[in-house]
Amino acid sequence: MLRAFLKKGDVISGAVLAALGVFIITQALAWDYYTLDGPGPGFFPFWYGVAMVVLSLLLVLNAARTDSDGDKAGVDWPATGRAMTVWLAFALSVGLMDFLGFLISFALLAFFLVAVIFRRPFTTAAVVAVMSALAFHLIFPVALSVSLPTGPFGF
Amino acid sequence: MEIASGLLHGFAVALQPGNVFWCFVGCLLGTIVGILPGLGPAATIALLLPLTFKMDPAGGIIMLAGIYYGAKYGGSTTSILLNIPGESSSVVTCLDGYQMARKGRAGAALGIAAIASFVAGTVGVIGLTLVAPPVAAFALSFSSPEYFALMCLGLALVVLLSGTSLLKGLLSLLLGLWLTSIGTDLFTAQSRFIFGQATLLGGIDFMVVAIGVFAIGEVMSSVEAGEEAKVLPVPRGFRNLLPNAEELKACRFAFLNGSITGFLVGCLPGGGATISSFIAYGIEKAVSKHPEQFGKGAPEGVAAPEGANNADTGGALVPLLTLGIPSGGSTAIMLSALVLWGVKPGPLMMQESPDVFWGLVASMYIGNVVLLILNLPLVPLFAQILRLPVYVLFPVIFGISIVGAYGASGRIFDLGLLVGFGLLGYAMSKLKYPSAPLILGFVLGDAMERALRQSLMMSQGDLMTLVQRPISAIMLSLALVILLIPLFGWFNRLRVRAITENG
Amino acid sequence: MNRRELLVGTASALVAGAAGPAFAQFKPLRPIEFVVHGGPGSGNDVFARTLTTIIDQEKLLPVRMQVVNKPGGGSTSAAAYVVSKKNDPHVIACFTNIWLIDPMVQEAATNKLVDMSPIARLVVEPALVVVRADSQIKTLKEFIDAAKAKPGALKMSGGSITSRENTVRQLLMQLTGVRWAFISFPSGGERIAALLGGHVDLMIVDPSEAGEQVRAGKLRVIAQVNERRLPAFPDIPTIKEAGFDIPNVPQMRGVVGAPGMSTETIAFYEDLFLKASKTAGWQKFVNDSQLDGEFVKSAELKPFFAKFEGELREILKAAGAKVVR
């Protein structure tokens, strides 16, 4: 069951990496391959681009060659969905940091994680969010002078 | 004997109450700096530099050095507990350290890290005391072909880090090689793969990649279980909080390996603690009787790299103190500090400033003891972090990751990269691509390319130079051996698997 | 002009005249950001922090001045940051040659030094041309002759293709028609190690980096790269004196302000740094670091940038770097 997904995953990832390899090769060809002074900036990228294409195609071939177990169950979508939701929340939080600063954006992220992903009551979520955001703020920018993104309020 | 008298003189200086105090302050600060990602020893030393102007040089350098090697002790803490490297050279400790924590052996891992750091750190100082001049000469004899061979040896270790799929390990490595080439080519000022972003001209920061792939990737994997996500088991009972005799016995060779590898690679101006910790880990796995345990929580897998990154400090001080040549950010600042104090680091330092020179060396013996005493009791304390409920711990991990990624450069762009690498780390773990080769490729790729191009420039295009020089020839042959032997095993296994699947 | 405008005009002129010396018109109200393009501990960072400490100790400013590190892409991150703070009189930066060079060779580095507000040039960094002490080469002429005998065989270590040492190499090679290799190393330590280890033959290096090796007798100085001889090396000829008349390429460090600074603000900072440069503490730092502390004022700086940029562009093209701007 897992193997079926992996197989499909291998095919997809192999294809993506092969595409990346091709991209690398085309970029590398635009630069000097070998100059008077030795290998140029295009030398290494060209070769590891080639290696990437070759190996990823091998991977795809390998994956396509072995028979599927006939089982279509595959991926545990709810689980992956949860992980991706968390990732989206993280990405959004980072996106907000430029505008609202670390304190608020992080508090929002923490609140979301506790309330939605871990299904704790709203009060718990709020407490965790506020306390952890404050702790980070006090330890890093205030006590240690390690800068964190600031928003319009100065924090 | 000159060394003995020098050392005695050094202890006389180092044991003065004022200097002992500064040593302690440095070690404490260093430990804190090491524990917290986002705070690096180089930055801290630079910030404290103006404060030290009023101090006497011996005390000042003793404190700054304390921060430098102290940070190596603390760096393993978040690596083991949270899979977040506290310091770039602690990234290898994440591999087995975090896995040990997952098995409930967090305390043991932290203890082994501290002990390995102490043993190797002390060996490093002994090396600095006894064999500094010949080691400095050795360091100077290393030219670009030797660096290239060393990097090849390091990369050959990828086959040992790939787990079950060599193919995926190699692809992971290539991805790392690509990521590290993003930026500006040193030789031609040609910008590569920057996608028009001026911010990428300086390349991607290693910590951003490491924290993203390791920490964020891991968090995403753990969150899959939702509210049932489990935290790492908290070690219960005093016996479980520290390494047991069996684990310590298993690490005997690792202590030695870490010490020597770290010291030798550390003395090379182009080397680095991260590189030496990878090589020590690779060597440990190569000679181990149970290599399949590595990556799953082998104590030696913690001892070797942790030892290496500590012995590295002793090694790095060899060229600094005997030749006035820094190797890396922290030593460069310490060099400026010495210059500003009027101490002249170089071949004449030992004669002209014996107080500072021997005082510093002696203080490092003291410092390593102080750090062991400081860190071991902290182990049970830190292990309690795992008691935090999962819904507090995970936000904290995000927070620490953000601080770690933002702290060095102060750019929101790096946080964006962090998000991206987090996704990459998650995708890699779902698709069963090992992440260690990615990090390995990222760390070594740049240096390897540079070394090859420098070698060819020096030999005017003659590749033979790589095998004509003895040291580089030896290392390249070793790399080849490492690559070939496991390959036989792999091909065999592939063959067997193909047979059983078809049959 | 009607009567009302004449009245207003006269009144303003009177007020302006009564306001006193130009620098009294600008007073910083917030901490001043001193932007540096290196990370903590880099050469620029130490330079800026020392300057800041001195200004602080001598109480030359009513507010705090703090060093803000903006590392990344050479000068590009710092330059981008400074330009983003246009019209903010509290943002200044410490510039070096690469602030001129990066926009010329990097497509993505769009912020030019000439668009910022020049305040002052504080120091130039001389350099030494060194070989190993056990080398046969005793003078610069001997090196050039040796390179002529074996084209491309002799090697020199240095930084990137746009670095000062490569610039000097280009100029010498153009003048003499001789060729030798340039091997780039990312850090000063590796460059010196390459020379000491015998893997390269020559190096052009800062006196502060190589000074100790010279003193210990491991390296020999065969020429100086500067307009005038350094006090620490009175017997070593400059490149010009050694018979090679190449233009001087100063490696400079100074201060610029964010774009759009008023003349009064610039005058304020110029005066601040002039005072700082005269303090005993600064003189000591400059001497200890073996720098040449000739102060150049704002008015001379702007035309200098334009001229110097043009010269560098030609040199870089000759060196084979891809000049995009």
Q: How does pLDDT run across B230-280, given as a tens digit for each residue?
A: 777 777 776 677 788 888 888 889 999 999 999 999 999 877 888 899 999
Q: What are phi and psi of B66, to 5 degrees?
A: -55, -40
Neighbours of B, requiring at least 3 CB pairs below 8 Å, are A, C
Angle between helices A77-112 and B412-430 (to 10 degrees): 150
Touching check for B345 and chain C: CB below 8 Å?
yes
**DSSP bridge pairs for B499:** none
Say what the pLDDT of residue A73 is.
46
Residue C52 has pLDDT above 50, yes or no: yes
Amino acid of residue B388: L
Say what the pLDDT of residue B489 is.
66
Mutation for testing the B interface, residue in C68, C81, C83, C106 having most B CBs under 10 Å:
C106
Distance from CA of A152 to the nearest CA of B (A): 15
Tell me if B189 and C193 make a contact (CB, 8 A cut-off).
no
The answer for C 134-153 residues in CB contact with B (under 8 A) is 152-153
By 3-state DSSP, what share of chain B in percent is helix, strand and coil, each rounded to 5? 80, 0, 20
Kindly calculate the radius of gyration of chain C based on its CA atoms and give it in whole angstroms.
22
Say what the pLDDT of residue B282 is.
87
Q: Is B163 left (phi over 0), alpha (psi -120 to 50) or beta?
A: left
Which of B171, B224, B392 lies closest to A56 in CB terms? B171
- Any residues with CB less than 8 A from the CB of B460 and at least 6 apart, and which? C152, C153, C181
Mean pLDDT of A92-115: 92
Which of B412, B419, B431 lies closest to A9 in CB terms? B431
Mutation for testing the C interface, residue in A31, A34, A35, A37 having most C CBs under 10 Å:
A37
Say what the pLDDT of residue A49 is.
95
Distance from CA of A7 to the nearest CA of C (A): 41
Higher pLDDT, B199 or C55: C55
Which residues of chain B have a CB within 8 Å of the CB of A114? 391-392, 395
Separation CA B337–CA B335 (nearest Å): 5
- Tell me the per-residue pLDDT of B412-454, one tens digit each, with 9 for 90 and over: 899 999 999 999 999 999 988 999 899 999 999 988 999 999 9
Mean pLDDT of A8-20: 89
Touching check for C105 and chain B: CB below 8 Å?
yes
Higher pLDDT, A37 or A18: A18
Q: Is B70 left (phi over 0), alpha (psi -120 to 50) or beta?
A: alpha
Domain residues of chain A, as ranges?
2-65, 77-143
Which residues of chain A have a CB within 8 Å of the CB of C71? none
Mutation for testing the C interface, residue in B64, B182, B185, B188 having most C CBs under 10 Å:
B188
Which residues of chain C have a CB within 8 Å of the CB of B325? 189, 192-193, 196
Tell me if C212 and B45 make a contact (CB, 8 A cut-off).
no
Distance from CA of B116 to the nearest CA of C (A): 29
Structure tokens at C119: 């305040």
Distance from CA of A71 to the nearest CA of B (A): 16
Q: How far is CA A139 from CA A104, A119, A145, B287, in A?
A: 16, 28, 9, 43
- Quick one: pLDDT band at residue A67, thresholds 50, 70, 90? low
Which residues of chain A have a CB within 8 Å of the CB of B457? 37-38
Which residues of chain B have a CB within 8 Å of the CB of C218? 347
Structure tokens at A123: 């009060």
The answer for B 308-337 residues in CB contact with C (under 8 A) is 319, 323-327, 329-330, 332-333, 336
Touching check for B395 and chain A: CB below 8 Å?
yes
Distance from CA of B313 to the nearest CA of A (A): 24
Higher pLDDT, C121 or A6: C121
Total of domains in chain B: 1
Distance from CA of C228 to the nearest CA of A (A): 34
Say what the pLDDT of residue B260 is.
93
Separation CA C55–CA C310 (nearest Å): 34
Q: Are A33 and A42 in contact (CB under 8 A)?
A: yes
Touching check for B483 and chain A: CB below 8 Å?
no
Distance from CA of B408 to the nearest CA of A (A): 9
Separation CA C198–CA B16 (nearest Å): 42
> Rounded to two decimals, what is the model's pTM?
0.87
Say what the pLDDT of residue A6 is.
64
Tell me if C213 and B323 make a contact (CB, 8 A cut-off).
yes
Residue B492 has pLDDT above 50, yes or no: yes
Please state, rounded to an integer, the average pLDDT across all residues of chain A: 85
Q: Are C27 and C62 in contact (CB under 8 A)?
A: yes
Torsion of CA A134, A136, A137, A143, to 10 degrees: 120
Please state, rounded to an integer, the average pLDDT across all residues of chain B: 87
Tell me if B398 and A149 make a contact (CB, 8 A cut-off).
no
- Tell me the per-residue pLDDT of C240-273, one tens digit each, with 9 for 90 and over: 899 898 888 888 999 999 999 999 999 999 999 9
Touching check for A37 and chain C: CB below 8 Å?
yes
**DSSP bridge pairs for A38:** A35
Number of other residues whose CB lies within 10 A of the CB of residue C247: 11
Mutation for testing the C interface, residue in B135, B146, B180, B325 having most C CBs under 10 Å:
B325
Say what the pLDDT of residue C210 is.
86
Q: Are C41 and B332 in contact (CB under 8 A)?
A: yes
Q: Are B273 and B137 in contact (CB under 8 A)?
A: no
What is the span of the domain harbouring residue B392?
2-500
Higher pLDDT, B163 or C111: C111
Tell me if B177 and A44 make a contact (CB, 8 A cut-off).
yes
Higher pLDDT, C141 or A1: C141
Say what the pLDDT of residue A68 is.
54
Q: What are phi and psi of C74, to 5 degrees?
A: 70, -115
Distance from CA of C183 to the nearest CA of A (A): 9
Mean pLDDT of B188-201: 86
Distance from CA of B121 to the nearest CA of A (A): 27
Touching check for B54 and chain C: CB below 8 Å?
no
Separation CA C38–CA C54 (nearest Å): 20
Residue B119 has pLDDT above 70, yes or no: yes
DSSP secondary structure of B262-276: HHHHHTSTT--HHHH
Mean pLDDT of B309-317: 92
- Quick one: pLDDT band at residue B97, thresholds 50, 70, 90? very high
Tell me if B174 and A51 make a contact (CB, 8 A cut-off).
yes
Mean pLDDT of B182-202: 87
Which residues of chain A have a CB within 8 Å of the CB of B432? 6, 9
- Tell me the per-residue pLDDT of C27-42, one tens digit each, with 9 for 90 and over: 888 899 999 998 776 7
- Tell me the per-residue pLDDT of B362-402, one tens digit each, with 9 for 90 and over: 999 999 999 999 888 888 888 888 888 888 889 999 999 99
Higher pLDDT, B226 or B28: B28
**What is the interface pTM, i.e. ipTM, of the complex?**
0.91
Residue A72 has pLDDT above 80, yes or no: no
Say what the pLDDT of residue C1 is.
45
Say what the pLDDT of residue C209 is.
83
Residue A71 has pLDDT above 50, yes or no: no
Neighbours of C, requiring at least 3 CB pairs below 8 Å, are A, B
Which residues of chain C have a CB within 8 Å of the CB of B460? 152-153, 181
- Return the percentage of chain C with pLDDT > 90, whole number: 45
Residue B338 has pLDDT above 50, yes or no: yes
Which of A39, A128, A148 lies closest to B406 in CB terms? A148
Separation CA B275–CA B171 (nearest Å): 20
Which residues of chain B have a CB within 8 Å of the CB of A113? 391, 394-395, 398
Among candidate residues B331, B435, B182, the one with its CA nearest the CA of residue A23: B182
